[in-house]
Structure 1
Amino acid sequence: MELTRWTVSLLLLSAAAFVTTGAVTSYVMAPTTGGTTEAALIIVPGASITGEAYKPLATTIQQASPLKLWVVLLEGFLLTTPNPLELGGAVTSAIAALKHQGMTSDNIFLAGHSLGGVFVGQYGSSNASKLKGILLYASYLTRDVKLASYPLPVLTISGDLDGQTRLTRIVDSFQQLEASLSQNPTNKYRTPVVTMPGVSHAQFASGQMPKAVTNKDLNPEATSTVAYKLIAKHTSAFLLSSLGDSVPQNLRSTALSDLNKAYTDTKTIMQPLITVKEMDQNSQNSDQWAIQAQYLESGLSRSQVKVTDEILPQMNFLSSKPKIHGAGNDLTIQTFAHLAFSSNPLDISTVPSAPRVLSFKMKSFEAVKDAMPAGTTLNTDVWNITCKDINQAAFNLALQSSSPVARQRYLDHGRPIIFKPDVMHSTGLGWSTSDIGLNEDDQGLHVTSQTLKTQLHELFDMFSGMHYCKGLSPFRAMEWIYVDSLRSHA
């Protein structure tokens, strides 16, 4: 799914010359069963993958479906890569080929793998009247398009060992689905988001994969045969559900039951990720890990002191100063946090979804101790706690919060996170302009935090008793555990 800007420009400029040439061909696979309801599935390949590579999957889908199902594999896109300029004509030609070979219904579904799925999503938005639904194989609707408002039924389906279309990106789509269910519970069937255990990005196709896939994809636990059967099962259920009353009631009931189970199974996979993700990205606009870090820093429990946090934009964060309010046994520590994400304007799935760096400002142990009533019991083990220590605690939380399957995968095959000593800064300017060190090699991910710690009594009191960190969010550690660590090489 990854394209550089120059590749996109080249595709668009070059494809213009091919739009009217009929370069894309349709390989039509006639129905293998005689169902009472007729439908067709047109499959758009991923980048640098031939249409023929999807024949084993297409055959399995036809075998699994009770429909009289035609399948069309599109072949011959410019540079063997689907693009929006050729896609419209290719779909029109595919439909014409279906009619020529004897299809009589207008039950047309369009599927796309990887980058093909991105363009299928765009095509469906403006050509809804031509289709009954779209299927996104190891793909998703990009951020500017929402599931709930999409004009067609849409299946988003991927594997939890997809190293190209990250599971952490599919979490976003699943959360969209979850948010829509309170308004329309039937979205569970209209816009299902399905994650299959043990399946990789490449297992939607067959044969030799391009380097863009092999360099990033993860090793599957499911065989290709098992993967095809899983994809076929969910595809069949989605087609039957989307066709509504035009299919026999018993078949539709079974399809809805299958989709309901797929939703439940997917939620089980997603929930640990969602829980940790929402520590940083939540409706309260507070970073829960920054709050936990302050408790670690202070050596106090939640029953002894209240900590609040506010996530601020960059400029506001630069001028913010954590504070201790109240007196005696009624103290509140106000902390501040800022999340910085890797630039990703095109919503490319290989870019990490978690914050690249979590910056947070705390009051130091000394400042908290000085503000507490005499005789308060503090955990003095944290007297010299470092940002490195807090990063290690973030990783520990991420590992403990991961599913048993993900945790075991990491322990068996994952490259570790290696926490390096903090880089110390003496000025706020030096700390503010620094960045966390995230350096990946074949040994693992080397993390170096940036820290600033001031004395309890500085010349200007507003700078006294501070401890600032540029660190790792638990969700970033979790993304490493679930995805990036599982590659043998950087």
Structure 2
Amino acid sequence: MSTCVEPTRSTSALHRYRSCASQGTVGPLEIFSNNDKPSGQYIQKRSQLKLWLALVNFDRNLARLEKNIISLAADLEQLGMTRANIFIAGHGEAGISVQRLANRNPQQLSGIILLGSLLQNGTQFEYFGMNVLTVAGDLDGVTRVTQIAQTFKVLSQEVEKNRAMQYKAPMVIVKGINHGSFSNDILQEDMKRYDLTAELPIRKSQRLIARYISLFLSYTIRGSRNKKQRERMSKWFRKTTTFLQPILEMEKMELNRFYQSQWLNNAQIWLSGLGGNDTQFLRVKSYSVEENVGISPDLYIRDNNVRIVYVTLFFYLKRCEYQSDTYSHLAHSPTEIRAFMLSQKRIQSHFYNVTSVRDFTCRDLNYAAFVTALSKVPPEVLKRYYGKHKGAIFHEDIHINNENEWWQRKLLVNTTEHEQHVTAYLYETEVESAGNEVEEGGEGGGFFYCTLLPPSRVMEWIYVDALRNSYNSEINQRFC
């Protein structure tokens, strides 16, 4: 449909535009920020709907922003627009203002559109007062894809209970676009610092984004009667699920909903040095604990015809502390895993006639985390990563003499010119025996405490951090 956009009025606080094709007609209204004018106009021109388009300055003062939008809607109503269908789009941080405004005015709006932005932490889609479309880029360095995965996990859980949620709150990841793709590559300097390099031209990006938004608007306005639209939105959900699956699977392996870690279970088995059939006689469970709780790993034996050694280990996930939702450009995965394990010597002292495969160290476990993460990601992501990354070097463990000092040390991760250097701290105690027998429980000693590299953090390197033109590993330090 051929349309044009002409200004009807301009003030310092508000810019208003209307479609020539919409004069004298009833049509939905889209509200974009001034920075997103090119995208808004492109969507208006390409949409099958007759759209009104309004551009506003997104003021962090919600009361003032709300007043401006209400005034705008009243003026356009005089020109023939109905208030029945009003949508607000927010890009990046403006998406937070959009959500807050929507919460204040659920009866006034039909839906919101988040471009390179996410529903705020702790918000459930099913209880949000209107439909929500989220469009993100896999090369967005400001709203990173690993953060998008966390929000999508919430949506997926809701879809499991109610399939209609995939239509009420669709989430789309557009491959090859970055944060600037939503705003004609116009970003503040601090945002440019974090953004990645887009692979798609701006025009092609706008065309793809417009298609998603147009379908969302049409579906929301016309309801669920259109089977083809539902099928397309179901396809969006499946594609997003497939794309984010490696990230979410790695995170689940690291910490599941029962606060256990299959990753640490595997690490303890490797550390035991047992090989072949011997590993079936070692059973490991791991539990997440709070920082410095003074707990030690446990071991006990059941010998009913078959001797089984049970090990319970503990771990603490160290995270950065962010004060608000405006830090989506920084890594949110754990910075390290503090693992309280048992040494090879301690575990093998409870077995008879076993042969060690090899002696494992914290360094080996960190290398395993790196390789495991690499093995999970799709080929196109690996290609990007290897195009920038120069390699990772895992240095010998630094041995610490006492547990208190070990707690004061952090896993060392330094990045120089896209080359990463990882060094773990190890605290190890001797195996304690009474006579010729090593005791069960904590009395047997043989503690093996490591500062470990979280596989989910490696995922963030692969998908985001390593792709930056200038990657500084100290970016996060003031929050950690």
**Residue equivalent to 2:56:** 74
1:41 aligns with 2:22: no
CA contact (8 A) 2:430 2:445 kept: yes
Structure 2 equivalent of residue 90 of structure 1: 68
CA RMSD of aligned residues (A): 2.3
Structure-2 residue corresponding to 1:335: 313
| Aligned with residue 359 of structure 1, among 338, 348, 356 | 338
2-structure distance, mates of 1:433, 1:352? 22
Mapped partners of 1:59, 1:458: distance in 2? 77
Cα distance change on mapping 1:406 and 1:33 into 2, 3 Å: farther
Residue by residue over 1:168-225, the C-alpha shift from the partner in whole angstroms, topping out at 9 and shown as x without a partner, is: 1111111111100122110000011111111101100115421122100011111111
**Contact residue 24 and residue 79 of structure 2 kept, 8 A:** no
Output the amino acid matched with 1:353.
H
Checking the alignment, whether the CA contact within 8 Å between 1:203 and 1:227 is kept in structure 2 is yes
Q: Distance in 2 between matches of 1:97 and 1:455?
A: 79
Structure 1 residues 136-285: aligned runs within 5 Å: 136-245=114-223, 252-285=226-259
Confirm or deny: 8 A CA contact 1:451 1:468 kept in the other structure. Answer: yes
Q: 335-344 or 296-305, which moves further after superposition?
A: 296-305
Contact 1:31–1:62 under 8 Å retained in 2: no
Aligned residue number for residue 432 of structure 1: 407
Structure 1, gaps ≥5 residues long = 1-21, 45-50
Give SS of 1:58's match.
Answer: helix
- Residue 350 of structure 2 aligns to which amino acid in structure 1? A
> In 1, distance between residues paired with 2:199 and 2:24?
33
Counting only pairs closer than 5 Å after superposition, residues 455-474 of structure 1 correspond to structure 2 as 455-457=430-432, 462=443, 464-474=445-455
How far off its partner does 1:56 sit?
A: 2.3
Please say if residues 15 and 55 of structure 2, whose CA atoms lie closer than 8 Å, have aligned partners that are also in contact: yes
Q: 1:415 to 1:186 in 2, by over 3 A?
A: farther
CA separation of 1:207/1:188 partners in 2, compared to 1, >3 Å: closer, same or farther? closer
Q: Could you tell me which of 86, 89, 93 is aligned with 1:108?
A: 86
Is the CA contact (8 Å cut-off) linking 2:139 and 2:198 kept in structure 1? yes
The structure-2 alpha-carbon separation of the partners of 1:125 and 1:402, relative to structure 1 and needing over 3 Å to count, comes to: same
* Aligned amino acid, residue 414 of structure 2: N
The residue that corresponds to 2:8 in the other structure is none
Q: How far does residue 415 in structure 1 lie from its aligned partner after superposition?
A: 5.0
Amino acid at match of 1:91: I
Q: Which shifted more, 319-328 or 88-97?
A: 319-328
SS in 2 for 1:136: strand
Give the superposition deviation at 1:463.
6.7
| One-letter identity of the residue aligned with 2:365 | I
2:376 to 401, 411, 415: 401
Deviation per CA, 1:283-314: give whole Å up to 9, x if none: 22111221111111012254231111111122
- 2-structure distance, mates of 1:36, 1:175: 40
Amino acid paired to 1:61: I
Q: Which residue of 2 aligns with 1:475?
A: 456
Deviation at residue 424 of structure 1 after TM alignment: 1.4
* TM-superposed deviation, 1:258: 2.3
Match of 1:7 in 2: none
- What is the deviation of 1:32? 4.4
Percent identity over paired residues: 28
3-state DSSP class of the match of 2:280? coil
Alpha-carbon contact 1:340-1:357 (below 8 Å) kept: yes
- Give how far 1:421 is off: 2.8
Q: TM-score, normalised by structure 1?
A: 0.86
Please list, as runs of the form range in 1=range in 2, the aligned pairs for 1:276-315 lying within 5 A after superposition: 276-300=250-274, 302-315=279-292
Q: Taking structure 1 as reference, are residues 205 and 58 closer, same or farther at Cα in structure 2, changes over 3 Å only?
A: same
- Going from structure 1 to structure 2, the CA distance change for 1:35 and 1:132 (only over 3 Å counts) comes to farther
